[in-house]
Amino acid sequence: MNRSPNFGARRDGLRPELVVLHYTAMESSAAAQRALCDPAREVSAHYLVSESGEVLPLVDEDMRAWHAGAGEWAGRGDVNSRSIGIELANTGDAPFAARQMAALMALLPGILDRWSIPPQGVIAHSDMAPGRKIDPGPRFDWHRLARAGLSVWPAPRDGAGLPADERRFRRDAEAFGYPRDLPLDLLLATVRLRFRPRHAGPLDSQDMSVMADLAARFAAHEGLTPRRERP
């Protein structure tokens, strides 16, 4: 089995506190594996999950794979040193295969357990690199992962929801982990890509409710530790 030579030591004593999900945007898992194992490309991931559900370990978890690139989450950079990277073989415009999703959901519990990563630590590449990356994209089923306790999803809210308020939306998005000081249109598009992928238009009450709920339940700026539920 090919292993990637593209890795190094995690910096400054950092350890995994995130899992970053990607899609390969290549025509096949075999092509993606060749790219991730090519020293000239200087890119890698800890795991590649094929369309058929085969899990290919490419970099040891305790090492720093080169998958995330520039970006931040919860106010902290060097995401490569703080994360496990998982590539899903997908062209970017196709549904994720059932066997592939099942394999991912079998892989994640062990990673989260080994590194004491809570479900809110499983994020999209697009979450930590808004405007630069969009993977794993609008076809990825985050709700399914959340139902299995492998990520998070906003709770439904009864009633009309909260009025649109840019300042509060930004505050809640940053509390959840999104980078600071993004243009509103980019922040809104990034949040919707993960939680409301079929919606467009200006900031609305549902966007407000999504981020208010996630910010209330999860404290990314407190070491990714869940907050107590509000009464």
Q: Record the pTM.
A: 0.93
- Looking at residues 77-88, what average pLDDT do you find? 98
Binned at pLDDT 50, 70 and 90, residue 229 comes out as very low
- What does the pLDDT read at residue 156? 79
126-129 CB contacts, 8 Å cutoff, 24+ apart = 126/190, 126/193, 126/194, 127/73, 127/177, 127/178, 127/190, 127/194, 128/18, 128/20, 128/68, 128/71, 128/72, 128/73, 128/79, 128/179, 129/68, 129/69, 129/70, 129/71
- What does the pLDDT read at residue 225? 41
Last residue of some domain: 147, 174, 189? 147
- What does the pLDDT read at residue 230? 28
The number of domains in the chain is 2
19 found inside a domain: yes
Are 118 and 180 in the same domain? no
- What does the pLDDT read at residue 158? 64
pLDDT in tens, 155-210: 977 656 789 999 999 999 999 999 999 999 999 999 999 999 999 999 999 999 99
- Tell me which H or E stretch contains 228: none
Residue 65 lies in domain: 7-147
- What does the pLDDT read at residue 128? 98
- What does the pLDDT read at residue 1? 59
Whether 70 has a pLDDT exceeding 60, the answer reads: yes
The CATH number of the domain holding residue 115 is 3.40.80.10
Binned at pLDDT 50, 70 and 90, residue 231 comes out as very low
159: region left, alpha or beta (phi > 0 left; psi from -120 to 50 alpha): left
30 found inside a domain: yes
- What does the pLDDT read at residue 2? 84
Structure tokens at 96: 């994720």
- Looking at residues 23-47, what average pLDDT do you find? 97
Are 205 and 143 in the same domain? no
130 found inside a domain: yes
Are 172 and 141 in the same domain? no
Whether 212 has a pLDDT exceeding 90, the answer reads: yes
156 found inside a domain: no
- What does the pLDDT read at residue 226? 37
Residue 132 neighbours by CB distance under 10 Å? 11
- What does the pLDDT read at residue 159? 58
Whether 228 has a pLDDT exceeding 80, the answer reads: no
128 found inside a domain: yes
- Looking at residues 44-69, what average pLDDT do you find? 98
- What does the pLDDT read at residue 24? 98
pLDDT in tens, 84-123: 999 999 999 999 999 999 999 999 999 999 999 999 999 9
- What does the pLDDT read at residue 162? 87
Whether 220 has a pLDDT exceeding 70, the answer reads: no
- Looking at residues 124-147, what average pLDDT do you find? 98
